[in-house]
């Protein structure tokens, strides 16, 4: 079934077309990733589909009765709600049905001979169960935990959360709403590694379709089965996963380059013919024929695909101390007033490329400050073997208020550089001569600021580079160039990042901070994920399970429906059994709201299993009661 159809959609700003007409469809179970450089129009396309941006021409058709969910803080109904109250708003109709069922049960207890009440109860109870009435508390707990919310957060009001936390609240609620089509713009922003891993697993099994924009290549690789790619204002749909998309795009580029080169060779041939024969009257008609052919070729010519490649050339210099000890960490504890991470023990060698990963607030940036000597460890010992000249790229890259142009800025801070060296440096980092003289520091975008910071790092000879989220604000092409530069860097590298694909391509060592412990791993993230991360997560689950009490579950009872009876029980005995089962179901309903249960998947499964069996028994008993009256 087609959920969404986009037909010849265009967008113009001040009369200039942002991109060429785009047409595509999203069907059931599709996972469509929208890829392309920053500023190409990906987010604008999403907003046009949602009706939040005016369409210049074309159509967006959403099929009848298809529900669409978009990640934004508009999803939050009431910021004065607690986290758990906000999650419960998703299930308002179900909760109302639950109340009606309890009311019916109370009425049946007063009027046990009312067959209409019994029928009504049976119908409503079956509908309640089919709509997930016995597992919505478990779903809420599972999704909130997936987004790193603990049970302590459940009673916090939404307006007490930070901006990033509110995004995660909105995301959790969006998944609970379970729309037919999920539309996501950079969904892995504000999420830690474990949350991203869980989200990937959840979305891979999601029953609806997903349309998303993302720069997270690892996320795209694991999720997308189709790629909508924009390049040079043109859209191409690739009906394949990311790896095949990469190969197809490379082949497409090579074919386009071959066509361009053949075209240019033919143009040159025509021009030579025209130049040689046009002055000769006997051959002027032939020359005129070539003029027409050349004009037609010019009208339908393809542009040089090589001009699409951004002229970005990053070069980083540093002293080589390969294999030499730089730092020894012995049971180091980092933090401020209290420990953020303990038991950090490893040796950092020259030319190591070390990744620092972990959830937000686990101490990644604090570790960076500790290794730079900006703060002392709370405990343990750090031995330093050399004087280290370190360069730092902060996550919160500085914003400039200055009206200086780019050239003036570098002229002032690097007076010993020749003017041409400054222009060459800015050119290597993607700034033209005109931009260097006209762009003001205060007007730079996030990506441009990041390139300025990287240029300043490249103008120094640093023994060690500490980069905090260096791929923030960089598009895929710029990130690819940065990967090549970092792999050629001969100094020692420490990278703090959530970008798993980037880390895998640049780092050969890993320090993972989780639950107040620093786990050191000698190898890339992809190996750590298989060999250690799953083990850490399983250990944590076992720890939680051992610290909680199991719910009171009655012994399994064989299904009474399957029993064959030669004599029918009297109504009084059937009512006694109904009362016992109803009371037991009330107990199980109450158990669902206990933290020790809704945070434990296995316990909730056992509760749901018993409730389902009880529902089947009750249905049978009410039928028997009706027959016996």
The helix or strand, by DSSP H or E, that contains position 532, with its residue range, turns out to be none
**Is 39's pLDDT higher than 60?**
yes
What would the mean pLDDT of 445-462 be, rounded to a whole number? 83
Q: What is the model's pLDDT at position 212?
A: 95
Q: From CA 331, how far away is CA 354, in angstroms rounded?
A: 18
Residue 468 forms beta bridges with which residues? 496
* SS3 of residue 12 by DSSP: strand
Residues in the chain: 629
Strand partners, 335: 339
Round to whole Å and give the CA distance between 621 and 610.
Answer: 16
Query: Residue 471: is its pLDDT beyond 90?
Result: no
Q: What pLDDT, on a 0 to 100 scale, did the predictor assign at position 557?
A: 28
Instruction: Answer with the residue of higher pLDDT: 620 or 83.
Output: 83
What is the strand order of the sheet 492-496 is part of?
A: 379-384, 325-335, 339-349, 517-521, 509-514, 353-358, 492-496, 464-468, 390-393
Q: How far is CA 503 from the centre of its chain?
A: 16
The pLDDT, as a whole number, for residue 559 is 32
Is residue 543's pLDDT more than 60? no
DSSP characters over 298-363: HHTPPP-GGGGS--B----B----BT-EEEEEEEEEEESSSEEEEEEEEEEEBT-EEEEEESTTSS
Mean pLDDT rounded to a whole number for the chain: 84
Cα–Cα nearest to 354, from 467, 499, 192, 515? 467
Can you tell me the mean pLDDT for 188-210? 85
Residue 397 pLDDT grade (very low, low, confident, very high; cuts 50, 70, 90):
low
Q: Considering the entire predicted model, what is its pTM?
A: 0.69
Query: Is pLDDT at 96 greater than 80 in this prediction?
Result: yes
**DSSP summary character for residue 23:** E
Cα Rg of the chain (Å, integer): 32
pLDDT band at 541 (very low <50, low <70, confident <90, very high): low
Q: Which residues, in sequence order, are bridge partners of residue 25?
A: 5
Higher per-residue pLDDT: 117 or 6: 6
Residue 229 pLDDT > 90: yes
Q: pLDDT (tens digit, 9 = 90+) per residue, 550-599?
A: 333 333 323 333 333 334 567 777 777 887 888 888 788 777 767 677 66
């Amino acid at each position: 079934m087609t959920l969404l159809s986009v037909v010849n959609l265009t967008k113009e700003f001040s009369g200039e077309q942002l991109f060429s007409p785009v047409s595509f469809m999203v069907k059931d179970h599709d996972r469509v990733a929208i890829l392309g450089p920053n500023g190409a129009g990906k987010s604008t396309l999403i907003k046009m589909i949602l009706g939040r941006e005016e369409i210049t021409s074309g159509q967006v058709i959403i099929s009848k009765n298809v529900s669409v969910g978009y990640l934004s803080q508009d999803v939050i109904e009431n910021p004065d709600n607690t986290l758990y109250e906000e999650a419960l708003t998703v299930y308002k109709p179900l909760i109302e049905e639950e109340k009606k069922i309890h009311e019916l049960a109370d009425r049946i207890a007063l009027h046990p001979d009312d067959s209409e009440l019994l029928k009504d109860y049976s119908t409503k109870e079956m509908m309640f169960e089919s709509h997930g009435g016995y597992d919505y508390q478990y779903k809420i707990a599972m999704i909130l935990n997936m987004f790193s919310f603990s049970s302590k957060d459940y009673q916090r009001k939404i307006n007490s959360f930070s901006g990033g936390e509110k995004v995660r609240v909105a995301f959790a609620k969006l998944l609970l709403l379970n729309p037919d089509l999920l539309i996501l713009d950079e969904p892995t922003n504000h999420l830690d590694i474990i949350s991203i891993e869980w989200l990937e697993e959840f979305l891979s099994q999601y029953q609806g379709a997903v349309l998303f924009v993302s720069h997270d290549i690892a996320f795209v690789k694991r999720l997308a089965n189709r790629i909508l790619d924009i390049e040079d204002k043109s859209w191409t749909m690739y009906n394949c996963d990311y790896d095949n998309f990469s190969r197809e795009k490379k082949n497409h580029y090579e074919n386009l380059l071959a066509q361009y080169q053949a075209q240019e060779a033919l143009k040159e041939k025509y021009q030579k013919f025209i130049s040689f024969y046009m002055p000769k009257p006997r051959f002027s008609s032939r020359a005129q024929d070539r003029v027409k052919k050349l004009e037609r070729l010019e009208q339908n010519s393809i542009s040089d695909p090589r001009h699409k490649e951004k002229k970005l050339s990053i070069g980083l210099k540093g002293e080589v101390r390969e294999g030499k000890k730089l730092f020894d960490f012995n049971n180091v504890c980092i933090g401020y007033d209290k420990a953020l991470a303990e038991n950090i023990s490893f040796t950092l060698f020259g030319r190591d490329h070390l990744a620092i990963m972990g959830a937000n607030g686990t101490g990644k940036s604090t570790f960076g400050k500790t290794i730079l000597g900006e703060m002392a460890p709370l405990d343990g010992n750090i031995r330093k073997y050399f004087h280290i000249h370190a360069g730092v790229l902060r996550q919160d890259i500085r914003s400039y208020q200055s009206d200086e142009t780019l050239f003036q800025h570098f002229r002032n801070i690097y007076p010993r550089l020749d003017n041409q060296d400054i222009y060459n440096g800015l050119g290597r980092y993607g700034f033209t001569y005109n931009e260097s003289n006209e762009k003001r520091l205060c007007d730079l975008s996030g990506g441009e600021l990041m390139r300025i910071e990287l240029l300043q790092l490249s103008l120094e000879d640093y023994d060690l580079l500490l980069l905090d989220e260096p791929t923030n604000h960089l598009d895929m092409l710029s990130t690819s160039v940065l990967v090549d530069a970092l792999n050629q860097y001969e100094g020692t590298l420490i990278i703090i990042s959530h970008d798993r694909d980037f880390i895998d391509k640049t780092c050969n060592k890993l320090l993972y901070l989780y639950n107040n412990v620093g786990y050191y791993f000698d190898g890339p993230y992809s190996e750590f994920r298989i060999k250690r991360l799953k083990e850490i997560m399983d250990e944590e689950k076992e720890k939680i399970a051992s610290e909680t009490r199991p719910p009171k579950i009655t012994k399994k009872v064989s299904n009474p429906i399957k029993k064959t009876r030669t004599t029918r029980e009297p109504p009084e005995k059937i009512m006694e059994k109904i009362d016992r089962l109803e009371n037991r179901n009330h107990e199980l309903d109450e158990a669902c709201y206990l933290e020790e249960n809704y945070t434990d998947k296995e316990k909730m499964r056992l509760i749901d299993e018993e409730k389902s069996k009880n529902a089947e028994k009750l249905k049978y008993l009410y039928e028997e009661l009706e027959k016996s009256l």
